Amino acid sequence: MINLADKTRRRIVVLDGYVANSGDLSWHELEKFGELIIYERTSPAQVIDRCRGAFAVYVNKVILDAGILSLLPDLKFIGILATGYNNVDLEAARKYGKTVCNVPAYSTASVVQMAFALLLALTNRVETYSSSVARGEWTTCKDFSYRLTSIEELDGLTMGVYGLGNIGLRVASTAHAFGMRVVSFTSKRQEQLPDYIEKVSRDEMFGRSDVLSLNAPLADDNIHFVNAETLALMKPTAILINTARGGLVDEHALAEALRSKRIAAAGLDVLEKEPPAHDCPLIGLDNCIVTPHVAWQSTGARRRLLAISAENLAAFLSREPQNVVS
């Protein structure tokens, strides 16, 4: 069990807390376990000094490599304020006796909602019509309604889903609820899938999809999964949605496909480099919506993130660690 008597000697440091909690939520659950020090952001040069003497350190994107971990003998627990943990050297953490825990599946609903927000923005053109009304164009219209651009129904279209984890399966079920057919290139067997998901080859998924949603983690074997070759397989009316990882897409190939109308549109919440360079080829295209990696950060999702992060530390102190990745 947690020994609250040790609380005064236990230092807990959050190195980059701003993105998860810019002040609209509370850190009080972590404050129960010791002296809590929160930094909004931490540069690489500041990491060691800020972690020195800490029992527990929380990071989102700050890198904790082998060299850093070797210099922090007091550090016993590393909490990842995210699901992904590639910013922490897990082998070094094991070597130096530091338990690393992440927060899985906290943002599933939030990410699925954003995937369809991007898709509906591209198919229903709500912003285009709202801006038109604000300019007075409805007031001066001769008819009760008017058409600036086509509005596409999702019902009857085919949604390709790449990545059938928690998020991908929810995307698939939501697409099914919209009346869409769902296909997926997946390592899962057909009998493992819901009856509304059809297992297909990679090329068939690209070729049949009216909408292709990327929901897979980035790995060595799927970098630039969407590239000039696979984009050439897609329908000219197809839409690409990426709420997973920017590295799944060859940005220059996608930009060329969008400019040449090889595909119709893209909705992207992630890019290869974040923040992007000023010359990112996808920003500013009239058939490409780009949002700044916000799909995960609904208020509800961030509240769950902080709550589970505190539960991870409580479980570790109770000698029953949960969500351990190393």
Q: Which residues pair with 59 in a beta bridge?
A: 80
* One-letter identity of residue 226: V
* One-letter identity of residue 75: L
* One-letter identity of residue 188: K
- Lookup: tokens for 48: 């060691």
- Distance from chain centroid for Cα 207: 25
Alpha-carbon distance of 230 to 57, in angstroms, equals 42
Residues 6+ apart with CB under 8 A from 308: 103, 106, 323
Integer angstrom CA distances of residue 175 from 64, 157, 178, 236, 253: 39, 9, 5, 21, 27
- Tell me which long-range contacts 310-314 makes (C-beta under 8 A, separation of at least 24): 310/29, 310/30, 310/32, 310/33, 312/79, 312/101, 312/103, 313/12, 313/30, 313/33, 313/56, 313/77, 313/79, 313/101, 314/2, 314/33
Choosing from 40, 91, 153, 274, the catalytic residue is 274
Choosing from 10, 11, 293, 304, the catalytic residue is 293
* One-letter identity of residue 218: L
Read off φ and ψ for residue 146, nearest 5 degrees. -150, 165
User: Would you call 293 a catalytic residue per the annotation?
Assistant: yes
Alpha-carbon distance of 16 to 59, in angstroms, equals 6
Alpha-carbon distance of 301 to 122, in angstroms, equals 25
User: Would you call 278 a catalytic residue per the annotation?
Assistant: no
Choosing from 245, 272, 302, 304, the catalytic residue is 245
Q: Which residues are catalytic?
A: 245, 274, 293
